Structure 1
Amino acid sequence: MSLNDVIEGTREAVQSDPANAAVSFSVGHALKAGTATVVEVNVRDHSFSVDEPAALGGTDTAANPVEYALAALGSCQVITYQFWAAKLGIPLESVKVTVDGDLDLHGFFGFADTRPGFTDVRLNVELTGPAGAERYEELKRQVDEHCPVLDLFRNPTPTKTSLG
C-alpha cells in the first residue's frame, strides 16, 4: 500500500466519521532489575529495553529515556517527511535526520531549581531528490507544522499522573 493510499484511506474514514481521527496509544512498563533501571516496554506486539549508563546507576544495556525521546523525534521527522512529500507530490530520494539534545542533570537530581528536561534540541535534516530548494523548504514548513513528536517537544501537553 502506498503512502498516498494510506492518506486517502484515512481521509475517507475521517470524512465518513470524524471520530475516526481520534486515536490512542498505550505503552506498558515494568521494572526488570533491582537497582538497575532496565525497563521492559511493551507496545502492541513489540518490546524494547530502556536502561541508563552505569554513571547514572544503570547497566548500560540499552538507550536511556532521553535518548529514546530524541530517537522518537528523529524517526517521526523521517516518517512525516515521507508522508508530506507524497501528499505534496514532492520527489524525495532520501531523508536523514540527526537529533542532538542538551540536558542539565541539576534538575533531574534536584541539585538546583532547573527544569529536568532538555535545555536545547537541534535537528539537522538532509533531503535529497530532484526538486528545487524552494519545494524542500515548503516540505519542511509542512513537516514542522504536522510532526506529532515535534509538537510534543514544542508545546505543553496536558499530563496526569495517578497512583494505583
Structure 2
Amino acid sequence: MSDLTPNHIDGEALAPIDADALKALAQKNIDNPEGGLKKIRTHTEADGHFRNITQVRDLPPILVSEPPALLGDNSAANPTEVAQAALAACISVGIQAIATHRGVTLTKINIDIVSDIDVSPTWGTGDLGEHKRPGVSNVEVSIDLEGDTDRETLDQIQKDAIEWSPVVNTYTRPAKLTSKLV
C-alpha cells in the first residue's frame, strides 16, 4: 500500500472493472458509432493570484494554480501539471480496460511522465521569438506494469493504450480550438 493508493495492496490484483459492462459499452459504440460522440463541459472561474477553480459535472471543484516561480501561491498543481496528470490517468484507464478485455489481471499500474516546457514566452509577455514554442514538448512516459501475463503481453497492452488514449491523441493530434469573447 502506498500513500497515493491506500485502497490497493502491493502485489494484489487491482480492483477490477466490470468486464461485462465494458463489453456492452464497446458493443453499444460499435453498433451506434454516432452515439459515442459526447460533449465535455467544464466551467472555470479565476480567484486571483493565478488561482482558478473549475467545476466538472457535479463533482467537487478542482483548484488549479501556479508555483511561486511562476508568480502563483503554490496552492495547487498548475495547468500543465494537471494536463500531464490527465494524460497519465487516461493511459492508466486504457491499460486497465484493455487488460480486462484480454483477460489479464493487473497488480500494478504506475506511470511517470517527464516533459519539457519553455516558459520564457511568459504567457505572451516575455520572449516572443518565432522560434519559441509555448507548451510541452518531448513528453516521456514510463509505465511500470505487473500482472498475470508475460512481459510481451504487458508491453502490447501499454502500446495499445497509448494508441487509443483520447488524451494521448489530444497531445499528438491536437483538436481544433476556437475562442470567442461572450
TM-score w.r.t. length of structure 1:
0.90
SS where residue 93 of structure 1 aligns?
strand
2:166 maps to which residue? 148
Unaligned 5+ runs, structure 2: 1-15
Matched, 1:42 2:55: yes
Q: Number of aligned pairs?
A: 162
Opposite residue 39 of structure 1, the aligned amino acid is N
- Contact 1:78/1:95, CA 8 A, preserved across alignment: yes
Q: For 1:11-30, what aligned pairs fall within 5 Å after superposition?
A: 11-30=26-45
Aligned CA RMSD, in angstroms, stands at: 1.7
Which is bigger in relative contact order (C-alpha 8 A, separation at least 6)?
2
For the residue of structure 2 that corresponds to 1:86, the secondary structure is helix
- Quickly say closer, same or farther: Cα 1:131–1:12, change in 2 above 3 A: closer
Alignment of 1:133-144 (within 5 A): 133-144=151-162
Q: Which is worse superposed, 18-27 or 79-88? A: 18-27
Partner of residue 9, structure 1: 24
Q: Find 1:78's aligned residue among 82, 92, 115.
A: 92
Of Structure 1 and Structure 2, the greater helix share is in: 1
1:51/1:88 CA distance change after superposition, 3 Å: same
Distance 1:77-1:15 versus aligned 2 partners, 3 A rule: closer
1:32 aligns with 2:52: no
Deviation of 1:87 (Å): 1.0
Question: Contact 1:51–1:61 (CA<8 Å) still a contact in 2?
Answer: yes
1:88 and 1:50 map into 2 onto residues whose CA distance is 37
The one-character-per-residue Cα deviations of 1:88-125 (angstroms, maximum 9, x if unpaired) are 22231110001111111123444033110112211110
